[in-house]
Structure 1
Amino acid sequence: MCTPDIPGTTLFDGRQAIKGYALNKMCFSFNEAANRAAFLQDEDAYCTRYGLTPPQREAVRSRQVLQMIEAGGNAYYLAKLAGIFGLDMQDIGAQQTGTTKAEFQAKLLAAR
């Protein structure tokens, strides 16, 4: 099977799933309020608990969604992490497209 090459896009495939397992598992844990609180209390300890790699930890620390995706993060799980920081899917879309949130929202409205 041929994988499409989409410039600037990290394809979430089996390799990325394995690479991002720890990050995605940590994000899944945020379904529970106690885990969200524990993360906010000590992010570094929480990342250590889940065995995040240095690139994953840096991506979380810097709040860079594209870096998290490159480190194997799945957008659906990353949305749980973004919610902790008060970000929504439009904030993530803006990061992914290199625009401001307002510009991204305008782009969505124009596409209707």
Structure 2
Amino acid sequence: MSHPTDIHAYLAELEDIPGTRVFTAARARQGYHLNQFAMSLMDADSRARFKADERGYLDEWAIPEEAKLAVMARDYNAMIDLGGNIYFLSKLFSTDGIAFAEAVSTMTDMSWPEYRQMMIDGGRSPEGLRSIREKR
């Protein structure tokens, strides 16, 4: 990656990393309410209210409809694209009783056992697509 002096050009280059969403200030602003919702799940009463009526609880937050739908579908890739921070979103999959690594496996094209084995074997290969724009 080159190092442009224009911060916007630099940040745009981060979007060229396949399979990666860098949590930038812009994403933080976009996902503020989504992340605040996720953090609210640290409280037992909030978790119980959410589990009893997910849509009703989500409607209490100034979260865009697209993000609410992503939460209800447990589409973590969409939530991250919409400004969710994985460490805040971990409160959601913890609420669902799902381990961090298992939840992350849903963000790949692998099953949980396949993902677990790939990680045990040392992780993803550095070979393959390295630039979306250049298709290399």
Tell me what 1:43 maps to.
Answer: 54
Deviating runs (4+, > 2 A) in structure 1?
A: 1-5
Provide the TM-score with structure 2 as the length reference.
0.77
Cα distance between partner residues in 2 of 1:97 and 1:43: 25
State the AA in 1 paired with 2:98. Answer: L
For the pair 1:19 / 2:33, whether they are aligned, the reply is no
Tell me what 2:69 maps to.
Answer: 58
Deviation sequence 1:4-25 (CA, Å, 0-9, x none): 3202322210111011011100
Tell me what 1:100 maps to.
Answer: 111
What is the total number of aligned residue pairs between the two structures? 112
Tell me what 2:129 maps to.
Answer: none
Cα distance between partner residues in 2 of 1:22 and 1:110: 37
- Which of 20, 26, 32 aligns to 1:9? It is 20
Cα distance between partner residues in 2 of 1:97 and 1:48: 29
Shift of 1:77: 0.6
Unmatched tracts of structure 2, length 5 or more: 1-6, 124-136
Tell me what 2:85 maps to.
Answer: 74
Higher normalized helix content (fraction of residues): 1
Seq. identity, %: 30
Which has the larger Rg? 2
Alpha-carbon RMSD = 1.4
Provide the TM-score with structure 1 as the length reference.
0.92
Unmatched tracts of structure 1, length 5 or more: none
Shift of 1:101: 0.5
